[in-house]
Structure 1
Amino acid sequence: MAARVDLVIVLPGNFSIQPKITIYTAIGYEQLTSQVAITAIVGDFGYPTPANGQGNLQNQYLNLNPFVGKRFGNERFSIDATVGLDIAVGLLSREFGKVQPEYPFLQMSDQRRPIPDVDLRPRLNLTGYYRMFGLSAGYSHGLSNYAGKQLSTDALIYAHFWRVGIAYRFGKHT
């Protein structure tokens, strides 16, 4: 399965409680898509039929991200280490795809899927800066079971996000 981030918009804010220790908050919008290759279809009789296709699952969230961090380094080189929580409000989950089975007709899917109302995700993040430019890497682990709202399943499906990005600091960067 391949996953990609289609769109992430973040509006950050922060204040310092003492030198080099900062409390941050950010509000953001995420649209995340996962892709899977479809190689077979299982119909009403339970026998798999070879197929060729692709399915996509797209989830949309509104995020609130409070976190606390410590800055190590100096004006020229620094590293921000942060720990916090993503509070992700599920807006929409949609599954869509196309499949070409062995027999000559095309099957398409386009439907809404259940999504947790709120997914709390503990998050760790490191950002290394050279002056005002930085590279960021982080990980968050969702606590909500995404299969919980689906019928006839005992599956446990949780969100795991590896984040990599670029950063720019506005204003004083000590």
Structure 2
Amino acid sequence: MKTLYLLLLGLCCTAVAYGQKLEIGAQLNSGISRFGGESATRTTGLSLSRSWGHGPGVSNPYGSRYNIAYGANLQGQYVTSKGFLLGTQLGYEQLRTTAKIDKAYGVWSHSSSMIHPADGKAVIIANYINLHPYIGWRITQRQVDLDLTLGSDIGFSQQMKERSEATMEDGTEIKIREDRSESITDFRPRLGIAGYRGHFGVSMSYAHGIKNYRANMDGADMKLYTRVFRLGLLYRL
């Protein structure tokens, strides 16, 4: 992390030396997010009674189906006379993922089967403080500034929780409200494009996580990564 900040400082000094302007702005964004990797799942099951004596639980709540994400950022960037960009965003965001629940396991009602039809979804909600350093290039055409950027999200996990629910065949609803213990610094290389006309602009970006959320699990080679697509509204001073 220290190396990254020293690199950014060096680039800032270079930008200042060769002539630049500083732009300050803010962004509101929404989008979609999911988990990727072999440990993410589109469909999962509900265990009616977990082995350690607690109530119902989802066997794998880390879904590969997209769900809504949203956040807000403050942005500062240097733009040189040649169009080179150097900037960073700092903000707060909430990412959500979904897996479909299609069955339940365990003893239920008067059924002799241990597998029962169910309909629901498992949702993971993760909150982050997000730092996004980037470099890029500006193209100006007909009073429109088009910024092409390459950087990385550095997401500092603040809270991760599960909010799952399913309806059994007889109409019984089962809800799971669980705060999860995962605490991670997530790294997501990110490509972006933003267009400005005057003070206002729009942006689009994709971030592809490379930090494995399951790297510390003993006795298993599991892989779980974040994937985030964002659309944003921008305002610059």
TM-score, normalization by structure 2: 0.63
> Any conservation in 2 of the 1:84–1:122 contact (CA below 8 Å)?
yes
More displaced, 148-157 or 128-137?
148-157
**By how many angstroms is 1:94 displaced?**
0.5
**AA partner of residue 2 (structure 1):** Y
**By how many angstroms is 1:104 displaced?**
5.8
Q: Which residue is equivalent to 2:139?
A: 72
1:57 is aligned, of 124, 127, 130, to 124
**By how many angstroms is 1:50 displaced?**
0.4
Q: Which residue is equivalent to 1:28?
A: 91
Q: Which residue is equivalent to 1:13?
A: 76
> Any conservation in 2 of the 1:70–1:82 contact (CA below 8 Å)?
yes
**By how many angstroms is 1:62 displaced?**
0.6
2:106 counterpart of 1:43: yes
Q: Which residue is equivalent to 2:40?
A: none
C-alpha RMSD of the superposition: 2.6
Instruction: Kindly indicate which of the two structures has a greater share of residues assigned to strand.
Output: 1
**By how many angstroms is 1:25 displaced?**
1.1
**By how many angstroms is 1:150 displaced?**
5.2
**AA partner of residue 22 (structure 1):** L
CA-to-partner distance for each residue in 1:83-132, whole Å, 9 max, x for gaps? 11111111111011222222564322111224342011111101123333
Identity level (%): 29
Q: Which residue is equivalent to 1:92?
A: 159
2:212 counterpart of 1:145: yes
> Any conservation in 1 of the 2:184–2:213 contact (CA below 8 Å)?
no
Q: Which residue is equivalent to 1:81?
A: 148
Report 1 or 2 for greater relative contact order, CA contacts < 8 Å, sequence distance ≥ 6.
2
In our comparison, the structure showing a higher alpha carbon Rg is 2
> Any conservation in 2 of the 1:75–1:131 contact (CA below 8 Å)?
no
Distance 2:212 2:106 in 1: 27
Instruction: Kindly indicate which of the two structures has a greater share of residues assigned to helix.
Output: 2
Distance 1:2 1:135 in 2: 22
Q: Which residue is equivalent to 2:20?
A: none
SS of 1:49's equivalent?
A: strand
Task: Name segments (4+ residues, structure 1) moved above 4 Å.
Answer: 149-153
SS of 1:137's equivalent?
A: strand
Structure 2, unpaired ranges of 5+: 1-64, 108-112
> Any conservation in 1 of the 2:161–2:178 contact (CA below 8 Å)?
yes
> Any conservation in 1 of the 2:105–2:116 contact (CA below 8 Å)?
yes
> Any conservation in 2 of the 1:114–1:149 contact (CA below 8 Å)?
no
